[in-house]
Chains A and B, each alone.
Chain A
Amino acid sequence: MPNFFTDNKDLLFHFDNLDLKEVVDFYEDNYKQADKFNFAPVNYDDAKENFRRILEITGDIAANYIAPRSSGIDEEGATFKDGKVHYAKGTRESLDLLSKAELMGMILPREYGGLNFPTTIYMFAVEMISRADASLMNIFGLQDIGRTIVEFGSIEQKQEFLPHFSSGKYTAAMALTEPDAGSDLQAVKLTAYQDEKGNWFLRGVKRFITNGNGEVLLVLARTEAGTKDARGLSMLVCYGDETVKVRRIEHKLGIHGSPTCELQFNDTPAQLVGARRFGLLKYVLYLMNRARVGIGAQSLGISQEAYEQALKYAKAREQFGKPIYNLPVVSNMLIDMRVSLEANRSLFYNTCVWLDKKEMLETLVERLKADKKPVTEVNERLKEATKVLNLLTPLTKYLLSESSNKICFDSLQIHGGTGYMHEFGIERLSRDARITNIYEGTSQLQIVAASGGVINDILVEYFNEWEKKEYKGSLINLLGILKEIRVIFNECLKYIKDKKDPNIQDVAAKDLVELYGYIYIGFLVLNEANEDQRKVFTARRYILDALTKARKNAEAIKNELYSDILHADTILI
């Protein structure tokens, strides 16, 4: 029987090389939880064994139960009838099984029925579920909402909602977007008002809400009447009861199993989560950053499946008397796909570990402050982690989502005419992938978010340190190439800075962010190749390809390719 965990060598490679000891030691209270819960680990090795076993059953369920339902889910889709949203049969069955397997509260604390796993381990599961059915990820991946309540909700709110998330009885939604507030969430209008007793109510409309039919909704609303910016917004939680009317669901290009709802709140009773006015500035930012990492996992899962299908098809399909796999142009495309996939995964799990570390440090700082203990040292580490993550999160979301589109594009191409037909899975994967670089912030927004860190070269210390490491054999040449890309990056950065033209800076940000990505990922794969022979070819193809692309990025900047944007009105007739 296939298994999306144990069959995936690269996923196992990352699992085996995870460094989560500090994080797990912390969240297990140095393994004191084992006294209270018979399934809590007694030490780090035990915890890792738990993770492995749980990912194994997730891989089994994904491969043998969910994946066979994915085309049916795509065909039937979520439907809207008599004011109610209905999941496709396969979606219902898959959610039911995942609930029975106790996988719906992986990152929630044990006292609320969860498994208390680090986010990184949860992301392994999200990747596999996405590979089996990308649309199911949109519901399975909503565990971040529970996590947001863990971080910022009151004890009563945690007790009220979390056990039902863990058991799978409730699904959730984050209701942020409105007709006039998409990428620009500061413009949110939905109002939250209080009655004389101080109870909160919601009134207004939300649009494009994934799983808006969920039992629990986390809503971004304007609590401060008369305000127009982010400082007037707060986060509230409410039930999706009869006061929340689903007006319609969207007919989408892909992820058909995931219902995208338009919601009308008619004086819906709600509870404030955390402090007023911090809705967008703190809580949504927290939630969005996690959701963006989640889209990284979804992109990766889709990419893996698209690659697998291309490989299988290329080996089976014979033309000119031999499998097309043996045609150099085809195998070259496959290598490109495989190398992108593996390089993406290296970036992804590196980002995940940073995320876990950052959240651990945040909690630690709060605890130390409460205990009136010195925090300076931990605070320094937290600042560093936050800085790195503010770059890595958008970089990961941007590169992985774009790459999953490219991998699907190439996989469909390898399938030829067959791939264009509805009967084959790659057609669906291509449609599903198309949303990944749009929602949770478009690629263009991710570039803006990443560019600050790039312009300030915030990873310079890491690069310098990695340059000093000793590399084996042919890897020394690859190190040389990475050094060369760093020179190219620095020249481009200087060129842009000297130019002092904000328009050009905006447009060139894409090239700069990509250049920076090559260097960071380049070092990640180089370091992996230094430890594992299998990765040497990956590193070689990735780094050589990166040099070619880096030169192209640099040419665009230095040749002032973009100077004609000043004449946009003349060109765009």
Chain B
Amino acid sequence: MIKNSIVMVKQVPDTANISGQVMKEDGTVNRAKLPAIFNYEDRVALEFALQVKDKFGGKVTAITMGPPRASDVLRECLYMGADEAILISDRKFAGADTLATSYVLAETIKHIGNYDFIFAGRQAIDGDTAQVGPQTAEKLHIPQITYADEILAVGESSVKIKKKIEGGYEILESSLPVLVTVIKDAAFPRPFQAKRIMAYKNAKTLSELEKLTEGNSLLYVDQLQDEYETRGLYIKTLTMDDLKLDESRCGIHGSPTKVYKVESVVLAGSHHQIVPPTKEGIGDLIDNLLADHILG
């Protein structure tokens, strides 16, 4: 009962380590000033896929849509145990919102084919939309389970999953294939494996191979690609043309979402209130918090 998984991962700016000069004058984020990291919940998603593989066998393919430097997270997927990593990269993908992104991802997944699970993190820490997973499932016309916490059982053509809901859990059963988005605490991602780090540290995407050939007339991209493929070090790179995509649905052209305004908000306390440590005082506080919908 082999189960193949595709994991959608994303390289994100490290918003936990924000220093000065990160916000531009116009209120947008200066990504060049932020270190890029592996979106944590996507690592958890990869852990889910690897656990399925450990149990049932099969192949784990990690995919990401992003700029050339997103190859870093793909190498990290290989360090963790992914069998294959694919970069979906094209200048024409720039400026994509969740609609355009999920279109490209869904088409890529169709292109790869033969999968039982698609795993993704609940959301990425840069956009926080939590839309790309669900939209991808929609475009593939497959069921989706979001906020997954645990895979309870895997059958021949079905899966039972515990998902987190407000105030509790829900247990859902779905047919396969299914798209699953996972939450942060669902699993602890395994560490990078020493041998895989050493083996895959030189894995390269097409654009990285192209860079190697620059200024060296003895190196040819095609030959390098063959050589890297034989050594298992080629990170497959797919472009808009490779996937035969509709340009009007990609990147900025395919993105109806427009940023209306970005405001830089500095949080500062304005006033404080003293709550007496009595039953009455604390009761009033709880009532106020309930009224403001902070509690409940």
Q: Which residues of A contact B232 (CB under 8 A)?
A: 38
Q: Which residues of B contact A40 (CB under 8 A)?
A: 198
CB under 8 Å from chain A, chain B span 189-244: 190-199, 201, 231-232
Interface pair A57/B195, CB less than 8 Å apart: no
Cβ-based interface call for A61 (8 A): yes
Interface pair A39/B198, CB less than 8 Å apart: yes
Give A103 to B194 CA distance when docked, in angstroms.
Answer: 7
Cβ-based interface call for A551 (8 A): no
What is the minimal beta-carbon distance from B286 to any residue of chain A, in angstroms?
Answer: 32
What is the minimal beta-carbon distance from B139 to any residue of chain A, in angstroms?
Answer: 36
Which of B190, B193, B194, B195 is packed against the most chain A CB atoms within 10 Å?
A: B194
Q: Which residues of B contact A103 (CB under 8 A)?
A: 194
Q: Which residues of B contact A115 (CB under 8 A)?
A: 194-195, 198
Q: Which residues of A contact B193 (CB under 8 A)?
A: 100-102
Interface pair A101/B194, CB less than 8 Å apart: yes
Contact with B along A49-64 (1 / 0, CB 8 A): 1100110010001000
Cβ-based interface call for A97 (8 A): yes
Give A29 to B40 CA distance when docked, in angstroms.
Answer: 40
CB under 8 Å from chain B, chain A span 95-109: 97, 100-103
The residue from A41, A49, A57, A97 contacting B194, defined by CB atoms under 8 A apart: A57
Give A40 to B198 CA distance when docked, in angstroms.
Answer: 7
Q: Which residues of B contact A54 (CB under 8 A)?
A: 194, 197-198
Contact with A along B175-193 (1 / 0, CB 8 A): 0000000000000001111
Query: Which B residue sits closest to A57, measured CB to CB?
Result: B192
Which of B190, B191, B197 is packed against the most chain A CB atoms within 10 Å?
A: B191
What is the minimal beta-carbon distance from B197 to any residue of chain A, in angstroms?
Answer: 5
Which of A39, A41, A49, A57 is packed against the most chain B CB atoms within 10 Å?
A: A39
Interface pair B191/A57, CB less than 8 Å apart: yes
Query: Which B residue sits closest to A115, measured CB to CB?
Result: B194
Which of B190, B201, B232 is packed against the most chain A CB atoms within 10 Å?
A: B201
Residues of B within 8 A of A (CB-CB), count: 13
Interface pair B195/A53, CB less than 8 Å apart: no
The residue from A41, A57, A61 contacting B197, defined by CB atoms under 8 A apart: A57
Interface pair A39/B191, CB less than 8 Å apart: no
Interface pair A38/B199, CB less than 8 Å apart: yes
Give A61 to B191 CA distance when docked, in angstroms.
Answer: 8
Interface pair A39/B190, CB less than 8 Å apart: no
Interface pair A101/B198, CB less than 8 Å apart: no
- Chain A contact-residue range equals 10 to 19
Which of B198, B199, B201 is packed against the most chain A CB atoms within 10 Å?
A: B198
Query: Which A residue sits closest to B197, measured CB to CB?
Result: A53
Q: Which residues of A contact B194 (CB under 8 A)?
A: 39, 54, 57, 101-103, 115
Which of B195, B197, B199 is packed against the most chain A CB atoms within 10 Å?
A: B195
The residue from B191, B201, B231 contacting A100, defined by CB atoms under 8 A apart: B191
What is the minimal beta-carbon distance from B251 to any residue of chain A, in angstroms?
Answer: 33
Q: Which residues of B contact A50 (CB under 8 A)?
A: 197-198, 201
Interface pair B195/A102, CB less than 8 Å apart: yes
The residue from B191, B199, B201 contacting A101, defined by CB atoms under 8 A apart: B191
Give A101 to B191 CA distance when docked, in angstroms.
Answer: 5
What is the minimal beta-carbon distance from A34 to any residue of chain B, in angstroms?
Answer: 10
What is the minimal beta-carbon distance from A76 to any residue of chain B, in angstroms?
Answer: 20
CB under 8 Å from chain B, chain A span 374-430: none
Contact with A along B32-61 (1 / 0, CB 8 A): 000000000000000000000000000000
What is the minimal beta-carbon distance from A181 to any residue of chain B, in angstroms?
Answer: 38
Q: Which residues of A contact B191 (CB under 8 A)?
A: 57, 61, 97, 100-101
Query: Which A residue sits closest to B194, measured CB to CB?
Result: A102
CB under 8 Å from chain A, chain B span 109-156: none
Interface pair A100/B190, CB less than 8 Å apart: yes
What is the minimal beta-carbon distance from B85 to any residue of chain A, in angstroms?
Answer: 16
Query: Which B residue sits closest to A102, measured CB to CB?
Result: B194
Interface pair A49/B190, CB less than 8 Å apart: no
What is the minimal beta-carbon distance from A166 to any residue of chain B, in angstroms?
Answer: 10
CB under 8 Å from chain B, chain A span 74-104: 97, 100-103
What is the minimal beta-carbon distance from B13 to any residue of chain A, in angstroms?
Answer: 15
Give A53 to B192 CA distance when docked, in angstroms.
Answer: 11
Give A97 to B193 CA distance when docked, in angstroms.
Answer: 10
Give A50 to B193 CA distance when docked, in angstroms.
Answer: 12
Q: Which residues of A contact B197 (CB under 8 A)?
A: 39, 50, 53-54, 57
Q: Which residues of B contact A102 (CB under 8 A)?
A: 193-195
Query: Which B residue sits closest to A98, measured CB to CB?
Result: B191
Query: Which B residue sits closest to A65, measured CB to CB?
Result: B191
Give A334 to B194 CA distance when docked, in angstroms.
Answer: 36
What is the minimal beta-carbon distance from B93 to any residue of chain A, in angstroms?
Answer: 30
Give A40 to B190 CA distance when docked, in angstroms.
Answer: 22
Q: Which residues of B contact A39 (CB under 8 A)?
A: 194-199
What is the minimal beta-carbon distance from B10 to any residue of chain A, in angstroms?
Answer: 19
Q: Which residues of B contact A49 (CB under 8 A)?
A: 201
What is the minimal beta-carbon distance from B107 to any residue of chain A, in angstroms?
Answer: 32
Give A185 to B193 CA distance when docked, in angstroms.
Answer: 40
Q: Which residues of A contact B199 (CB under 8 A)?
A: 38-39
Q: Which residues of A contact B192 (CB under 8 A)?
A: 57, 101
Q: Which residues of B contact A100 (CB under 8 A)?
A: 190-191, 193
Give A49 to B198 CA distance when docked, in angstroms.
Answer: 9
Give A115 to B196 CA distance when docked, in angstroms.
Answer: 11
Q: Which residues of A contact B231 (CB under 8 A)?
A: 38
Give A49 to B195 CA distance when docked, in angstroms.
Answer: 13
Give A38 to B193 CA distance when docked, in angstroms.
Answer: 13
Give A361 to B195 CA distance when docked, in angstroms.
Answer: 27
Query: Which B residue sits closest to A1, measured CB to CB?
Result: B17
Beyond contacts A38-B231, A101-B194, A102-B194: 7 other A-B pairs, Cβ-Cβ < 8 A, are A39-B195, A39-B196, A40-B198, A50-B197, A50-B201, A100-B190, A100-B191
- Could you show 30 A-B contacts with beta carbons less than 8 Å apart? A38-B231, A38-B232, A39-B197, A39-B198, A39-B199, A40-B198, A49-B201, A50-B197, A50-B198, A50-B201, A53-B197, A53-B198, A54-B194, A54-B197, A54-B198, A57-B192, A57-B194, A57-B197, A61-B191, A100-B191, A101-B191, A101-B192, A101-B193, A102-B193, A102-B194, A102-B195, A103-B194, A115-B194, A115-B195, A115-B198
| Interface residue ranges, B against A (CB under 8 Å) | 190-199, 201, 231-232
Q: Which 8 A-B residue pairs are closest in the complex by CB-CB distance?
A: A39-B198, A102-B194, A101-B191, A39-B199, A39-B195, A38-B199, A50-B198, A102-B193
